[in-house]
Chain A
C-alpha cells in the first residue's frame, strides 16, 4: 500500500517537473561540465598554483634556516670581535704601561746623567778656576817679586844696604803670601 502511494506521488510529480524529478540531460551536462572544468583547471590553475605554493613554502623554510644560520654566524663574529677588542685593549694597555715604565726609567736616567754631567762640569770649572787662580797667583807672585826687585834696586841705588833690604823684602813678601 505504501509503495503504491509513493509510486502514485512520484508519477504525478513527474508529470510537470517535481522537486525530486531527475533530468537525465542535466546529469549528462553536469558530468561533461565538471570533467572539462577539472581537466582545464588541473592544467591551467592547480598545477601552477600548487607548485608555486610548494615552492614558496620551501623557500620560506630555506630562508628561515639560512636566517638562523646567519644569526648564529653574526653571534659568533660578534663574540670574536668582542674578544679581539678585549685583547687589543689589553695589549694597548700593556704597551702604554711598558712605554710609561720605559719613559720613567729614561727620565730617571736622563736626570741622573744630566746631574752627573752638571756635577762634572762644575767640578771641571772649579778645577779650572783653581788652576787659573794658581797660575795667576804664580804670575802675580813673579811680577810682585820683579816689582820688588826693581824697587829694591832703586832703593839700593839710593844707597842702602841691598842685602839687608832684600831680607826685609822677603820677609814682607812672605807675609803677603800668608795672607
Chain B
C-alpha cells in the first residue's frame, strides 16, 4: 500500500516538474518528437488521416513515417537514375559518378574488409541500410522536415533488422548448432560455462541495442542543441544574443552534416563487422 502511494506521489512530482519547466522545453520536444500532423512552410499544419487500428496497434502514419517514405522514395529515385546510367554505358556520368564513389566506399571499405569473401551476399542489405540512414539523416537537416532516424522506434527497428541479419548470417554459414556453439570461445574451462553462456547471449543483444541508441542519440542531440541555441534568444528576451546563437547554431548545423554522414557509416560499419564476426567465428 505504501509502495503504490510512493509511485503516485513520484508520478505527480514528475508531472508537475514537466508542466512547470515544460513551458520552456515543450516546443523543442514538439519539433523533435513524432507528430500526427505535418508542418508545411507558410501553409500551416496538415493532419494525417487516421487509420483504423490493426490487431490493436495504431498504424496511422505519423510525421516520421511520412518522411521515412520521402527518404525511401528519394533513395529509390536516385539509385534508379544511377542504375540507368550503367545500362547505356559503363562510364559513369554526373549523378552516377558521385554515387558510385559512395557505393564503392561501402563495398571496399565496409563490406569487404569485415566480411571477407562472403561480402557479396550482404552487400545489397548493407548498401540499402547505409543509403536509407544517410538519406534520413540528411533529410532531417532540411527546415520543416523531420528526422525519422532520431526516433528510437525507427533506430530500434533498424537495429532489430541488423540483429536478425547477424544471426541469420551466422547460422547460414556455421549451421544452427555450430553457430551457437561457436559463440562461446574455445578453451574455456567447463566450470566457467554457466557464466560464459549468459554473458555471450547478453552480448548478442547489447550490440543492436548500442546501434539503436547511438544513432538515435546522435541524431537527436544536434537538433536539440540548435533549437536550444535559437531558444536562447527568446529565453533571454534580447536581440543582442542572436548573433552568438545563430553563429553557434550554424556551427552545430555544419557539425550535423558531418554527424549525418558519420552515423550512417558507423551503423553500416558496425552491422557489417558484427555479421563478419558471426560468419567467421574463429577469431
**Chain A residues at the B interface, C-beta cutoff of 8 Å:** 4-5, 7-9, 11-12, 15, 17, 19-31, 33-34, 36-38, 40-42, 44-50, 52-53, 55-56, 59
Query: Closest Cβ of chain B: how far from A156's Cβ, in Å?
Result: 139
Asked if B249 is at the interface (CB within 8 A of a chain A CB), the reply is no
Known: A29-B61, A33-B69, A53-B100. A42 touches B124 (CB 8 A): yes
Give A38 to B165 CA distance when docked, in angstroms.
13
Asked if B168 is at the interface (CB within 8 A of a chain A CB), the reply is no
Picked from B14, B68, B156, B220, the residue with its CB within 8 Å of the CB of A33 is B68
A30 lies within 8 A of B75 (CB): no
A48 lies within 8 A of B62 (CB): no
Query: Closest Cβ of chain A: how far from B28's Cβ, in Å?
Result: 10
Asked if B3 is at the interface (CB within 8 A of a chain A CB), the reply is yes
**Chain B 147-174, CB within 8 Å of chain A: the 1/0 string?**
0000111101110010000000000000
Residue of B nearest to A26 (CB): B153
* Chain A residues in 8 Å Cβ range of B64: 26
Could you write out 12 A-B pairs with CB less than 8 Å apart? A8-B7, A12-B14, A12-B15, A21-B152, A25-B65, A26-B62, A29-B59, A33-B68, A37-B75, A41-B79, A44-B80, A45-B76
* Chain B residues in 8 Å Cβ range of A17: 33-34
Residue of B60, B64, B104, B152 with most chain A CB atoms under a 10 A cut-off: B152
B158 lies within 8 A of A7 (CB): no
Query: Closest Cβ of chain A: how far from B94's Cβ, in Å?
Result: 15
Mostly helix, strand, loop or mixed at chain B's interface? helix
* Chain A residues in 8 Å Cβ range of B157: 26-27, 30-31, 34
The 8 closest A-B CB pairs, nearest first, are A52-B86, A45-B79, A8-B10, A30-B157, A26-B153, A46-B124, A48-B83, A25-B59
Give A22 to B32 CA distance when docked, in angstroms.
14
**Chain B residues at the A interface, C-beta cutoff of 8 Å:** 3, 6-7, 10-11, 14-15, 18, 29, 32-34, 57-62, 64-65, 68-69, 72, 75-76, 79-80, 82-83, 86-87, 90, 100, 103-104, 107, 123-125, 127-128, 131-132, 151-154, 156-158, 161, 220
Query: Closest Cβ of chain A: how far from B190's Cβ, in Å?
Result: 35
* Chain A residues in 8 Å Cβ range of B104: 53
A12 lies within 8 A of B11 (CB): yes
A26 lies within 8 A of B151 (CB): yes
Give A96 to B192 CA distance when docked, in angstroms.
99
A44 lies within 8 A of B79 (CB): yes
B154 lies within 8 A of A25 (CB): no
Residue of B nearest to A44 (CB): B80
Known: A7-B7, A20-B152. A37 touches B87 (CB 8 A): no
* Chain A residues in 8 Å Cβ range of B82: 45, 49
A24 lies within 8 A of B79 (CB): no
Picked from A28, A33, A46, A59, the residue with its CB within 8 Å of the CB of B90 is A59
* Chain B residues in 8 Å Cβ range of A46: 79, 123-124, 127-128
Residue of A nearest to B224 (CB): A19
A22 lies within 8 A of B76 (CB): no
* Chain B residues in 8 Å Cβ range of A25: 57-60, 62, 65
A44 lies within 8 A of B153 (CB): no
A19 lies within 8 A of B29 (CB): yes
Known: A23-B151, A30-B154. 17 other contacts (CB 8 A): A4-B10, A8-B10, A12-B14, A19-B32, A22-B152, A22-B153, A24-B58, A26-B153, A29-B61, A30-B68, A30-B153, A30-B157, A38-B125, A41-B76, A47-B124, A50-B123, A52-B86
